[in-house]
Structure 1
Amino acid sequence: MNRMSLKKLALPLTLLLGGCTPAAGRLSLADTMAGARIVDISHPLTEGMPVYPGGTPLSATVMGTVEKDGYYIRKFTVGEHTGTHVDAPAHFAAGAKTVDQLPVESLAGPAAVVDVSAKAAQNADYEVTVEDIEAWERQHGPLGPQHLVLIRTGWASRWPDEERYRNADASGVMHYPGVSLAASQLLNTRQVRAIGIDTLSTDPGPSKTFEQHRHFLGGGGYHIENLADLSALPAWGAYVVVQPVSVQGGSGSPARVLAFIPQENR
């Protein structure tokens, strides 16, 4: 790894390994986090938000109000794969880890943001290629087991308009960008922790076989789907924390996803 790549790794390593007491010439974990800009790259759960066909939308019922009961409380139902959410390996791999079994250390790491928004604007069915991944690596250094790879397609600009977000044709076939099987295989070889994307699915819209899901989840990684606008994140330098609900036996879970951006990358 070259000197620039080592320098760029300084923030993630500090976040992972930094102590609470500052040492000479080194920021503490608290100092590093306090100096970072925090960006929410997840959508709030709302009624009427886009869902994958057959998915369970949010439904909320008020059970108590401050005026009547002295407190405000609701009950809600929502699908495991509604809104910004995590796909656990068990979603497509029998006997694999469920969302509550994901190692906590896998739910955070340095973000590698692969921007294919210009290509997706020209082709709604664009699939991230091996060349897209290798081009990122040539510029920023090799991907590895600590990384969360986030794909920026620009599709988040269509949220929360379900019709535009699904982008279905007259036959009902959806058209939105995803990740090719070949690119998924490369990322699995790199052993990255997760693949995230700002669309309904990491597989492209027309897919009926979900090959990318089967491969990457079957390899032990997890997905983050329906991410919000990623334009504020640098290609390299942000640190991401993924916060799914730890549902016992869950195939996935809605999640809040936060990106910490150091001052030098703002």
Structure 2
Amino acid sequence: MNTRYWKLLPFPVALLLGACATSGNSGRESRGAGSPSAWLPRARVVDLAHPLTPDMPIFPGAAPLGVTVLGTVERDGYFIRQLVVGEHIGTHVDAPAHFAPGAATVDRIPPEMLMGPAAVVDVTAQVAQNPDYEVSPADLEAWEREHGPLQPQHLVLIRTGWAARWPDEKRYRNADAAGVMHFPGLSVATSHLLRQRQVRGVGIDTLSTDPGSNTTFEQHRDFLAGGGYHIENLADLSMLPPVGAFLVVSPLPVKDGSGAPARVFALLPPEG
């Protein structure tokens, strides 16, 4: 498991309190553990990002992380390295511009869009039966029947359980003899529904929001064209409840970037 906890430092508390005050919650969510402003100073924090390493799984055709040591404490008095990193490796954000010409690049995603209440849709049972499973509108509608309608401030996270295969690239890609990858993703119809709900973003614990066997990226083209963004290669989502977590997404603000590696934090009410 790549899930880690630590105490929330004072600096982001004021920012998040303000974000919570303006983001709102669905009716059922707001009746849960109480107003976020009541528990954020004591929040538990779950890190949903995989560490960047040269040997981590990457999408076919991408370049692995390059690391060169430029200085050491013993030799130079300080430790420093040079990184060569692609925009779409590791846990990362896809900006709208990734598939929508003229749309927002990663540095132009408004900061308020990079945080919001998490709606966690669990399809691990379906994926256990079918690695090519496509999240359907019925999956989202089932979540809404139990927790209330998805709201524009939501960040929708799809928990497939695929993160358990990280960092084994062979198992994570799950390619057959012909090189076709087999891992779960979202259907285009589901993308349409998420756009109708005007959610801020959608994240998944796989290599892509499109199913692995899809080579034309219809879900990418549809959702990103609507102004939302993706978070791919999320770490283990098992610690998150269906509602009640508050998400903070922190991609590198690469100027004119189609995307960028990101740290992603989920804030949870304190236990007890």
Q: TM-score, normalised by structure 1?
A: 0.90
> Following the alignment from structure 1 to structure 2, what is the Cα–Cα distance between the partners of residues 184 and 3?
24
Indicate yes or no: 2:54 matched with 1:47: yes
Specify the alignment match of 2:5 in structure 1. none
Q: Deviations along 1:26-71, whole A, 9 cap, x unmatched?
A: x3xxxx2222110001101011000000112111000000000000
Indicate yes or no: 2:14 matched with 1:7: no
Aligned pairs for 1:126-141 within 5 A: 126-141=133-148
Equivalent position amino acid for 2:132 in 1: D
Specify the alignment match of 1:162 in structure 2. 169
Specify the alignment match of 1:106 in structure 2. 113
8 Å contact kept, 1:124–1:177: yes
> Following the alignment from structure 1 to structure 2, what is the Cα–Cα distance between the partners of residues 211 and 48?
29
Indicate yes or no: 2:118 matched with 1:121: no
Shift of 1:8: 3.5
Specify the alignment match of 2:84 in structure 1. 77
Indicate yes or no: 2:248 matched with 1:241: yes
The aligned length equals 248
Shift of 1:208: 1.1
> Following the alignment from structure 1 to structure 2, what is the Cα–Cα distance between the partners of residues 11 and 68?
52
In structure 1, stretches of 5+ residues that fail to align are 15-26
For the residue of structure 1 that corresponds to 2:142, the secondary structure is: helix
Indicate yes or no: 2:195 matched with 1:188: yes
Equivalent position amino acid for 2:235 in 1: A
Indicate which of 195, 205, 211 corresponds to 1:204.
211
Indicate which of 70, 75, 88 corresponds to 1:63.
70
Equivalent position amino acid for 1:124 in 2: P
8 Å contact kept, 2:27–2:148: no
Indicate yes or no: 2:248 matched with 1:259: no
For the residue of structure 2 that corresponds to 1:233, the secondary structure is: coil
**CA distance change for structure 1 residues 204 and 186 in 2, over 3 Å: closer, same or farther?**
same
Root-mean-square deviation (CA, aligned residues, Å) is: 1.5
Specify the alignment match of 2:22 in structure 1. none
**CA distance change for structure 1 residues 8 and 187 in 2, over 3 Å: closer, same or farther?**
farther
8 Å contact kept, 1:64–1:73: yes
Shift of 1:9: 8.6
Specify the alignment match of 2:226 in structure 1. 219
Specify the alignment match of 1:34 in structure 2. 41
Q: What is the identity percentage for the equivalent residue pairs of Structure 1 and Structure 2?
A: 66
8 Å contact kept, 1:100–1:247: yes
Shift of 1:102: 0.1
Q: TM-score, normalised by structure 2?
A: 0.88
